[in-house]
Every structure is written in C-alpha cells, then in structure tokens.
Amino acid sequence: MTTSLRLRAGLVSIVLLAAFLGIWHLATRSTAPVATMSPEYAKLMGLTATQGKSAMPGPLDVGAKLWEHLKRPFYDNGPNDKGLGIQLAYSIGRVGTGYLLAVIVAIPLGFLIGMSPLLSKALDPFIQVLKPISPLAWMPLALYTIKDSSISAVFVIFICSIWPMLLNTVFGVASVRKEWVNVARTLEVGTIRRAFTVILPAAAPTILTGMRISIGIAWLVIVAAEMLVGGTGIGYFVWNEWNNLSITNVIIAILLIGIVGMLLDQILARFTRMVTFPE
Amino acid sequence: MSTFDNPFDPDRKLGAGCACGQHRSAEEHEQATALRCDPFESEEKRYEGVVASAVMRAMFPQDVARRAFLKSVGASTALAALSQFFPIKTATEVFAQAGTPEKKDLKVGFIPITCATPIIMAAPLGFYSKHGLNVEVVKTAGWAVIRDKTINKEYDAAHMLAPMPIAISLGLGANAIPFAVPAIENINGQGIVLATKHKDKRDPKDWKGLKFAIPFDYSMHNYLLRYYLAEAGLDPDTDVQLRSVPPPEMVANLRADNIDGFLAPDNVCQRAIYDGVGFMHLLSKEIWDGHPCCSFAASREFITTAPNSFAALTRAIVDATVYASKAENRKQIAEAIAPANYINAPVTVLEQVLTGTYADGLGGVKTDAKRVDFDPFPWQSFAVWMLTQMKRWGQIKGDVDYKAVAEQVYLATDTKKLMTEMGLTPPASSYKSFAVMGKTFDPTKPEDYLASFKIRKAS
C-alpha cells in the first residue's frame, strides 16, 4: 500500500515536472526575425532584438549552462569570477559561522530565561521588539559599526537566526512537565544536574525545531546579504549575473539555492528525529 | 628655463613667448594647456628623456653655456657624452620605480561600467604590476556600497562618480571625511536612452510626466539630466520623476515599463539597445563635450599614510588612462574587460561603446569616435561646476567656498607634477572654461553662473 502510494506520488511529480518544462519551453520559443534590418546593424544587436528570441531563457538553455557549471565547479578566474562550488562554499561558510554563534548564545540564554519566570517576563518585551526586525535592516548599522562587510554578513546571519532558537528554547524549557521537575526535586537532584538530565532531554525536540527554523531563515537571508555586500558567495553570483542580464545563470543559482536549502533543512530534521521521544 | 621643454634643443628661444612664459609661442601654450597624450616609443624612452633632461640641466645650469655645448657637439653626442660619466640607464630605472610603496597589496573597488575602464584594464593589461603594485580590483554592488567600503578602509582606493568625493568631503549623505581625486577616469561616455515606444517624442519639451532613472544622486548623470530638462523648460523636481536606480536594473526596468528612460553610464545604454528595449536619444557629449563622469578617489588618510603607494597607484591609473585614450587600443581593451571577472558584458556591446561605432536602436549605425574618451587630468573647474549644480538643486545649502573645496578635493597640482615626471604634458592651468549646451561657464564666477539659471530649487 505504502509503496504503491509512493510510486504514484513519484509518477505525479514527474508528470508535473514534465508539464512545467514543456510549458516553459513553449512559452520561450523564439519567433521569426522581428523586422528587417541591415546586416551591419543586426551584427551590433543582440539575439532578442534580431531573432525575436525571448528575454527569458528556455529550459534547454538553462540545462546546457548548468552542465557547463557542473563540469567546472571550482574554477577561479580572479576575485570577481569564481566557480559555483566556491561561491556556495563561501555562502555555507558564512551561514555556518553566524548560525553556530547564534546557537552558542541562544541556547544557554534561552535555558536561563526559560528556567526563571522573572527573567522570562522581564526580557519578553525586548525579544518581542527585536524579533520582527528584518535582518537586512541591521545591515547598514552593521556596516557602519563593524566596518567590515564579510563580518557584517555573518552578523546579519547571527541576528536573524538567534530569535527562533531563543524563543523555542525558552518555550521548551518552560513547558517541561511540572511532574518531572517535581520528581527530580523530591529526589533532591541539584539544579545543574536537573537542567542536564531532566529539562534538556525533555526540551530537546522543541529546541531543535527552533534550530531548524533558524537554519532556513539564515539561508534565506544570506543570499540577500551577499547581494548587498558583494565579493563572494552565491548571492553575489546572482547579482553579478543580473548585472549582465544573464537570466539563465540567475535561474541556475535559484535552483542551487533551493537544493542547498533543502539539504540543510533535511540535516536538522534528521537531528530532530534523533532526540524525539515517544511519550 | 622651464621644466616643460627640451633642454637638448639649441634653438629653443629663452625669452618669454607666451603668457605663462613656459612656451615658445602662444600656439604652443594653447596646445600644452589642452591636454594631449603624445605617443612615446616606449615607457623606458619616456622616462629616459625625463632623466636625461634633468641631468643636462644640472650640468649646465647656465642656459648660455648649455647652448654653446650643444651647438658644438650636437644633441645626440651630448647625450652619449653624458652617459659616459653619468649612468643615465640606471638613473632611469631608479626614477621609474620612484619611492618604494609602503603597501604593495591594494584593493580597488569598481562598479562594472565602461567608465571604470582604466581602473579595470590596468589589472589584466598589467599597468599596476608595472608600477610595482599588486592590485586586486573588486566589483561592487552600488555607489553607496563603494562609498562605505572605501570609508571603512576595505578598499584602499575606488572608482567613484566625479561628484562623490566632493559630497563625501562635504559630508553630504555621509559623514564628512576628506577625500581626494588624483585622476578623472573618463570624459563623455553617457547617454540618454528612451524606451522604444517614445521614438516620436524626441523633443524634451514633451517629456512632462515621464519617469527617468539616474544612477545616484551625487552623479554627473543627475546634474546633466536636470540641466538638459531645465534648458527645455521642465522643472526636474516637479515636472518629471527622477529615480536613483542601480545601472543593471535600468535595462530591466525599461523593459518592464517602470521607467520611460534614463541617463546612464555606458555599456548600460548600449545594452538596452542591444536587447532591443530602447534607443539612444542623445549622447551626453552633445550636452557637454568633454564632461567628466567618473573619478579615481582615495581618502586623505590613505594618501598621507601611504604616499608612495598612492603615487604609484595614480601613475598606473594615469598610464592606463593614456593608453585607453588611443583609439587603436580600444578593441583590445573591450576584450580585456568583458569577462565575468570584470565588467561581465557581451564583447560586442563594449566594442560599440569604446570604438564609437554603434547601433542607435532605431535601425541606424552611427559613428562618433569621441563617444567615450579618457583624460586623467582633474580639472578643478569641473569641481567648481559640480558645486554650482549641487547648490542649484538644493544638495548644498548656504555659502560654498568653491575654490577651496575644488582645490582640496581635486588634486590638480599633484597630478600635474606626477604627469610631468612621467614625461606627459599636463596643462599649465588647473581651471578652464567650457560650454554646457552652448552656455559658457566661467570658473572664476560661479555665483553669477548659478544666478543665471531660471529653473532651480528655491533655497
């Protein structure tokens, strides 16, 4: 039953993909030459103007270009032109650094806040105000104070991934079942031990859910941040190709951003499953 | 005896022949004040000439004695005789190296447009390495970013729009930080492009209500477009919409019908034509032939902490600009700067911009060899003109000491010295008068000039 369901779902997926590619291909076919123009003039013009080629590339163009990139993912033609593999590595590196810093700050802090109802109430207004701020709004402030664009990008990742983790940790820690905490108390378990052996395992699934939300946001933000600061990374690649109005490369980058984002999410999902327990 | 002429020439008249006393005749003075870049057989020859001249002058400080010596033996023998006991070759090498740069690895930011040609091409064509520098040219996302990164010292120097260093030094739109311009990048090389649907609306008087894009508020593009519109009787603040849009997005916005046209830096103009979305209404040179556009800028702090690096950098840029000013080099340059590492644009587009033979977007092929040109000299009168326009459109309020600002930001004196050392012929004055749409600008009377405009922002 499950296998046949999977099979059918897979089939539907493939049909949808084929339909999508087919429509895309048909929609971007080039029409006949638009107008008559002197050959001398035509030589100076682009294909869009002379062949009536759509400004949007078709799936075949994208496929060919993608193959070209995949053949040489790690080339380095100087500071402004690097292979897609290198660009992705830069982005992942930035996300990793900012995210890990956020983990180091958010989880212990969330623990403290969650275990103390007083702190929880006192800090709540600050967190509520800071949470909805678009991470990119921090960018000018970061650039101005840190005076280094790559550290600013990492800071933006840090600031955007800290809130979901912090809130989830606070929530997870605060909502550990009272009975479990009370049992630990009756057995005269120390505070530190109680935190690590009772509260942490109980709150772990919630904390990891927060971390999973955070990594998704961090990956969303890095592309925008890199478009802004430039230099390296997949966001810069998108901007550089946009500069050349190369929609083909932009589509390829979008595809890759999606795939990497999915992989990051899957990794965190695997961790979440590891710490989840049946009640 | 002046530093500008050849001391090996026995026929040189010693009496004053022109107003400044540095030229044989008034014509020669004229020629020297208009900047030219004379071809030299090679770099070494050029420096050798400079060094030999200096030695000759040192040996015969008396003009009469030098002349007698030259008359009796002839210039080439004199040079040979000099080399016998003075190592001109070695001296030339030492001279060409100048002071050792304090910092060899430099970062220079640029925006991917053809205005940055000298800054960019100096990397692939080896102008930086020739002057003992290891420069990384870094592509940057926009004018505000390039400003911030240069202020934050991530870049040692950068490609900026010509009015930007003035604005930064005055603290407009940023904290006031003293910046300086040792060299202008390009002159001309911009254009007004309109969407193809406006091909019958060629008279700017009919442009009421249209939406135009400019690259940045503190740009020649902004001032030129406003000037052009105001001459046609439109108030650029109320009759049309002007938007700051990053150049690459201009073409996409024009295609999407969000704007009706733009005054933009080149390769963007030609790109819009190449992609069939617009046509060239007017080259910016038709508004003001010889207008500056982009500059090479660095902070005063960098100049004082690393003067030798800065001098070497300026030499490399001046060298590259001179190279770019020659029509025969333009095709090679177009190929050198087209790859993704630099401008990232089709070679055909860059070739059309640089060679001046271009498709106009209406089915015709036009030729204008001076569509874009390169001239490094930072005329202080350019800065004065920009200040008048900043004041005209309300970017500066209150009184301006035009001359002081121009002289502080545009380093004409230093560049003049440097160009002379390099064997080039810089103009004698740092101010020149020019005409914008037929109206003459006198740099000594900026306030009168400003007062003569009817359309301006009320202050």
Partners of B195 in beta bridges = B278
- Taking the CA of residue B212 and the nearest CA in chain A, the distance in Å comes to 19
Domain boundaries, chain A: 84-275
| Inter-chain CB proximity A43 and B348 less than 8 Å | yes
* CB-CB under 8 Å, B112 with A147: no
Q: Which of the 8 DSSP states describes residue B196? A: G
Structure tokens, A168: 């989830």
> By the CB < 8 Å criterion, does A61 face chain B?
no
Question: Given a cut of 50, is residue B244 above it in pLDDT?
Answer: yes
Q: Which tokens sit at B113? A: 């447009």
CA dist., res. A179 & res. A202, Å (int): 12
Q: pLDDT tens for residues B212-235? A: 999 999 999 999 999 999 999 999
C-beta of residue A149 within 8 angstroms of C-beta of residue B149:
yes
Residue B82 is predicted with a pLDDT of 61
Residue contact B248–A242, C-beta within 8 A: yes
Measured CA to CA, the distance from residue B323 to residue B331 in angstroms comes to 12
**What is the percent of chain B with per-residue pLDDT over 70, rounded to a whole number?**
78
List the single residue in B with minimal CA-CA distance to A38: B363
In angstroms, what separates the C-alpha of A89 from chain B's closest C-alpha? Answer: 18
Q: What single DSSP character describes residue A195? A: I
Whole-complex ipTM: 0.72
Strand partners of residue B279: B194
Please name which of B355, B336, B357 lies closest in space to residue B345, comparing C-alpha atoms: B336
Name the fold adopted by A84-275: MetI-like fold (1.10.3720)
Q: How far apart are the C-alpha atoms of B332 and B202, rounded to whole Å?
A: 35
> pLDDT tens-digit profile of A202-223?
899 999 999 999 999 999 998 8
- pTM for the whole structure: 0.77
State the maximum Cα–Cα separation within chain A, in Å, rounded to a whole number: 94
CA nearest to B357 within chain A: A44
Question: Between chains, do B137 and A79 touch, taking CB under 8 Å as contact?
Answer: yes
| Domain residue limits, chain B | 26-97, 105-187+293-354+372-381+395-427
CATH architecture of B105-187+293-354+372-381+395-427: 3-Layer(aba) Sandwich (3.40)
> How confident is the model over A1-43, as pLDDT tens digits?
567 889 999 999 999 999 999 998 888 876 666 666 777 788 7
Alpha helices for B232-329 (secondary structure H): 247-255, 268-274, 300-305, 307-324
Residue B28's pLDDT band, with cuts at 50, 70 and 90, is: low
Model confidence pLDDT, tens digit, residues B151-165? 888 899 999 999 999
Q: Is B292 left (phi over 0), alpha (psi -120 to 50) or beta?
A: beta
Give the 3-state secondary structure of residue B411.
Answer: coil
In this structure, are strands B439-441 and B434-436 parallel, antiparallel, or unpaired? antiparallel
A47-81 residue pLDDT tens:
777 776 677 788 888 888 888 888 888 888 777 78
Contacts of A78 in chain B (CB under 8 A): 123, 341
Task: Please give the C-alpha separations between residue B233 and each of B82, B113, B236, B446, in angstroms, as whole numbers.
Answer: 66, 31, 9, 22
Q: Which residues of B touch A45 (CB under 8 A)?
A: 273-274, 276, 359
- Please state the separation of Cα B4 from the chain's center in Å: 23
pLDDT at A158: 93
The angle subtended at Cα A57 by Cα A53 and Cα A60, nearest 5°, is: 110
The Cα B67–Cα B65 span in angstroms is: 5
Is residue B16 very low, low, confident or very high in pLDDT (cuts 50, 70, 90)?
A: very low
| CA–CA gap between residue B291 and residue B435 (Å, rounded) | 10
Higher pLDDT, B427 or B51: B427
Question: What's the per-residue H, E or C state across B344-371?
Answer: CCCHHHHHHHHHCEEECCCCCEEECCCC
Q: Give just the sign of the alpha carbon dihedral B47, B50, B54, B57.
A: positive
Residue to substitute from B153, B274, B366, interface A, most A β-carbons within 10 A: B274
Q: Which residues of B touch A143 (CB under 8 A)?
A: 148, 152
Please answer whether residues B345 and B338 qualify as being in contact, where contact means their C-beta atoms are separated by less than 8 angstroms.
yes
